[in-house]
Amino acid sequence: MRSCLKTAHISVTLWRPLQVMEFYCESCETAMCLECTEGEHREHVTVPLRDVLEQHKAALKNQLDAIRNRLPQLTAAIELVNEISKQLTDRKNEAVTEISNTFEELEKALHQRKTALITDLENICSTKQKVLQAQLNALLQGKENIQSNCSFTEQALNHGSPTEVLLVQKQMGERMSALARHAFPEQPHENGHLDCQVETEGLRRSIQNLGVLLTTSTVGHTSVATGEGLRHAVVGQNTTVTVTTKDKDGELVKTGNAALRAQISAADGTVTETDITDNKNGTYEIGYTLRSEGEFSFSILLYGQPVRGSPFRLRAVKPCDAPQSPDDVKRRVKSPGGGGGGGGHVRQKAVRRPSSMYSTTKKKENPIEDELIYRVGTRGRERGEFSNLQGISTTSNGRIVVADSNNQCIQVFSNDGQFKLKFGVRGRSPGQLQRPTGIAVDLNGDIIVADYDNKWLSIFSPDGKFKNKIGAGRLMGPKGVALDKNGHIITADNKACCVFIFQSNGKLVTKFGAKGTSERQFAGPHFVAINNKNEIVVTDFHNHSVKVYNADGEFLFKFGSHGEGNGQFNAPTGVAVDGNGNIIVADWGNSRIQVFDSSGSFLSYINTTADPLYGPQGLALTSDGHVAVADSGNHCFKVYRYLQ
């Protein structure tokens, strides 16, 4: 092409005709002239331009159609956003009117109260004045009478004749005697006390805090609903679903008051009522009870928009048709596969369970029964088979590494579950494995294995070659292992009931913990994870809680208690932390996986309904953002979608 352009330029300069583009180079994907086919393109495959023209026009037309097909979607999106913008403006104007009317009414009420106070003040003052005026009139009248009598008598005495004095003496004497005896109201009949007390401080504070503006940044397409009740229910039994709200960036919204609506509709149009509880922390509980069996559509809307996955296909069965849940199976809570913080190793018996309580032989219309992407493994000793697998870890380059405990080996898989590597020899010498439990991978790809029975940590290269062991002579029964941001190796010692922190060369940095129930004590600590603040998260198996410490081992907080409710545990095992600091915990005794925020507040469950867990152990987040869990009782590991 460059040759053609150059030739064309020279031709114009010398008044020669422009070269015609008649050929097409498939290697360079460009049009060219005859001269170029014999020049720089002579080694390439060239065809007449007209032969490929229709092909390229068709390709362009397909691209044009594909992109034009997006226009209705964009138009609909524009209309929706404009509608929400209009709703927001309308609601703002309504709120302004509401605020104005409210404060005008308050101003009116204040004015009325002001008028009433002044009126009462005038009335009280007038009443008091009447009493005082009556007393004053009586006193003035008495004073005038005395002064008049005194003046008359003095006039008679000073200027009257003897006869006049004798004549007035009796009359004036009686009058003055009466005035002398008369009881005048000399003490005040009222007081001058009249104050107005208006307590304004409390009212002023109330006015300053008067009115609350309620809103959230919650949107439907990032918010998630979790729980078995999304797809399965038992007739007559109350069922609940948890909705966790998020903003446009997928960040958790931690305030309530969102406009959430849920509706369950049968094929005949019958609607089942739902009860929504706002937990005021960004999560909501939707409760319902179905009265008949069959298929239903379960719609969950936030501000009129569906949450992720809504509407859900819900199926209800009679109680007699519902299989026994693993939670109904009574079993003693003993530490699985790695000691119980006091007892010996308990060999866990796996129970074969159906892949789904609602599975059928025909192809599902909705293939997503739950968040399960795939599972790998059955009981056995070959590659891709396991016997009581324990720890699980992942690498940044797309690998999943599993500690196959009873088979005394390590197996490595790709993120899509393809077997890659198996290594490990049974034994008690350095480089051999006796009971691998915890596993972690450092930035160099080296694999750190906690060996419970050998009482040390073994370090292997990415291809499984033994490099070193650390912790020998100090550790009593290491279970979980993790690496912090400083390259330190942290392990939970199940038997010693403490946490050890080593440098990568094996030098002990510190340890903390002892057997007990207090904040800095453990009862069979199992697994350990590091959050984005370099804090240490430890599952305390027999204390049914998760405890969080800073990098130096200082206690920060704990969460969880014994039970089956949201945020409760029946012996927690595996733990992982996502990029947002949310804490994911394997609840061994309850056979479930729970998700908490960075402060330990319950958020949701990972939906494992279709292929239930039995005694989950280690947890890890894959490099592509999914959750991998060691399902020890079912001798496999599973990978689930994780909606952060």
**DSSP labels, 522-563:** BSSEEEEEE-TTS-EEEEETTTTEEEEE-TT--EEEEE--BS
pLDDT given at position 584: 95
Residue 83 in tokens: 């509608």
Q: DSSP state, 606?
A: -
Segment 130-144 shows an average pLDDT of 91
pLDDT surpassing 80 at residue 493: yes
| CATH code of the domain containing 278 | 2.60.40.10
Return the HEC string of 558-570: EECCECCCCCCEC
25 domain residue, yes or no: no
Is 237 in the same domain as 125?
no
Question: What percent of the chain stands above pLDDT 70?
Answer: 85
Residue 288 in tokens: 């319902």
Domain-terminating residue out of 298, 317, 336? 317
**Band of residue 330 on the pLDDT scale cut at 50, 70, 90:** very low
pLDDT surpassing 60 at residue 7: no
pLDDT surpassing 50 at residue 586: yes
Is 438 in the same domain as 295?
no
Q: 51 — phi, psi (to 5°)? A: -70, -30
| CATH code of the domain containing 634 | 2.120.10.30
* Residues β-bridged to residue 536: 530, 549
Say if residues 596 and 583 touch (Cβ distance below 8 Å): yes
Give the residue numbers spanning the domain of 118. 51-154
Domain-terminating residue out of 123, 154, 185? 154
Is 132 in the same domain as 233?
no
pLDDT given at position 574: 95
Identity of residue 470 = I
Is 146 in the same domain as 295?
no
Classify the C-alpha dihedral 151-153-157-162 as positive or negative: positive
- How far apart CA 119 and CA 137 sit, in angstroms, is 26
271 domain residue, yes or no: yes
pLDDT surpassing 90 at residue 361: no
pLDDT surpassing 70 at residue 415: yes
pTM score of the predicted model: 0.49
pLDDT given at position 565: 85
Contact partners, residue 597, CB within 8 Å, separation at least 6: 252, 254, 581, 582, 583, 603
37 domain residue, yes or no: no
Segment 43-47 shows an average pLDDT of 67
pLDDT given at position 362: 34
Domain-terminating residue out of 126, 154, 182? 154
pLDDT given at position 329: 39
530 domain residue, yes or no: yes
pLDDT surpassing 80 at residue 589: yes
pLDDT surpassing 70 at residue 351: no
User: Closest by alpha carbon to 413, among 623, 136, 205?
Assistant: 623
Q: H helices then E strands: how many in the chain?
A: 6, 37
- How far apart CA 452 and CA 468 sit, in angstroms, is 16
In a 13 Å sphere around the CA of 459, the CA atoms on its Cβ side amount to 18
Is 384 in the same domain as 514?
yes
Between 8 and 503, name the one with better pLDDT. 503
Segment 281-287 shows an average pLDDT of 90
Segment 249-274 shows an average pLDDT of 90
Is 610 in the same domain as 489?
yes
150 domain residue, yes or no: yes
pLDDT given at position 37: 61
* Residues β-bridged to residue 458: 449, 469
* Residues β-bridged to residue 32: 23
| Most distant CA atoms of the chain, gap in Å | 172
pLDDT given at position 41: 63
635 domain residue, yes or no: yes
Determine which of 173-177, 417-421, 573-577 has the lowest per-residue pLDDT on average. Answer: 173-177
Identity of residue 167 = L
If one counts the domains in the chain, the total is 3
pLDDT surpassing 50 at residue 16: no
Is 309 in the same domain as 402?
no
**Band of residue 349 on the pLDDT scale cut at 50, 70, 90:** very low
- How far apart CA 287 and CA 238 sit, in angstroms, is 7
36 domain residue, yes or no: no
Is 565 in the same domain as 630?
yes
C-alpha triplet 283, 285, 286: angle, nearest 5°: 135
How high does pLDDT run on average in the chain?
Answer: 83
pLDDT given at position 20: 63
Say if residues 387 and 635 touch (Cβ distance below 8 Å): yes
Is 381 in the same domain as 304?
no
**Band of residue 12 on the pLDDT scale cut at 50, 70, 90:** very low
Is 308 in the same domain as 379?
no
Is 138 in the same domain as 270?
no
pLDDT given at position 563: 87
Q: Which residue has tokens 């550790």? A: 475
Q: Which residue has tokens 């290491």? A: 478
pLDDT surpassing 80 at residue 533: yes
Say if residues 497 and 472 touch (Cβ distance below 8 Å): no
User: Closest by alpha carbon to 384, among 134, 637, 214?
Assistant: 637
23 domain residue, yes or no: no
Residue 622, Cβ neighbours under 10 Å: how many? 21
Q: 478 — phi, psi (to 5°)? A: -65, 140
Determine which of 9-18, 136-145, 352-361 has the lowest per-residue pLDDT on average. Answer: 352-361
- How far apart CA 587 and CA 616 sit, in angstroms, is 7
Segment 55-83 shows an average pLDDT of 87
pLDDT surpassing 60 at residue 576: yes
* Residues β-bridged to residue 401: 393, 412
Is 269 in the same domain as 386?
no
Q: At what angle do helices 70-159 and 162-181 cross, to 10 degrees?
A: 150
